[in-house]
Amino acid sequence: MQERRINPRRKMVLPVKISIGDGAGLAYTMDITSAGARLGGVRAGIETGQTVSLIRNGRKANFKVVWVQQISPKEIQVGIEAMQEVNNFWGVDLSEHQNGGKKDLNALMSLLGGKKS
């Protein structure tokens, strides 16, 4: 199935500090994009439409909660979308992944094409 997202997801577990209103806690990413993420380990009460702040590597950014899923009585997964451009907020180069992994594909095709039977 072809990815329909503008910014494809990349599976990546990164620790983040999440602030919701007056509360704060720790969570982790499960998937990231240059425009948002799926968070796991969220324990605070959170609702769709809320604004949350994340801190990662000393950088802070605001995100809008676009979906919430209760996984267990004490764990929530949350889909978030950046409210402003977050260049390299995650500390990971996502440009290659956003180009559909063309560099990896080209390298693989080069190896396969150069191989003689």
CATH number of 73's domain: 2.40.10.220
Residue 20 lies in a domain: yes
pLDDT at 68: 95
Residue 29 lies in a domain: yes
Average pLDDT over residues 9-13: 86
Distance CA 67, CA 21 (A): 17
Asked if residue 16 lies in contact with residue 57, where contact means CB atoms within 8 angstroms, the answer is no
Confidence class of residue 86 from pLDDT cuts 50, 70 and 90? confident
Distance CA 90, CA 26 (A): 15
Residue 27 lies in a domain: yes
Looking at per-residue confidence, does 53 or 107 come out higher?
53
Q: Is pLDDT above 80 for 58?
A: yes
Can you give the residue range of the structural domain that contains 78? Answer: 10-91
pLDDT at 79: 96
Q: How many independent structural domains does the chain possess?
A: 1
Confidence class of residue 117 from pLDDT cuts 50, 70 and 90? very low
Residue 23 lies in a domain: yes
Angle at the Cα of 76 (from 93 to 89), degrees rounded to 5?
20
pTM of the model: 0.74
Burial of 2 (0-12, 13-18, 19+ CB in 10 A): exposed
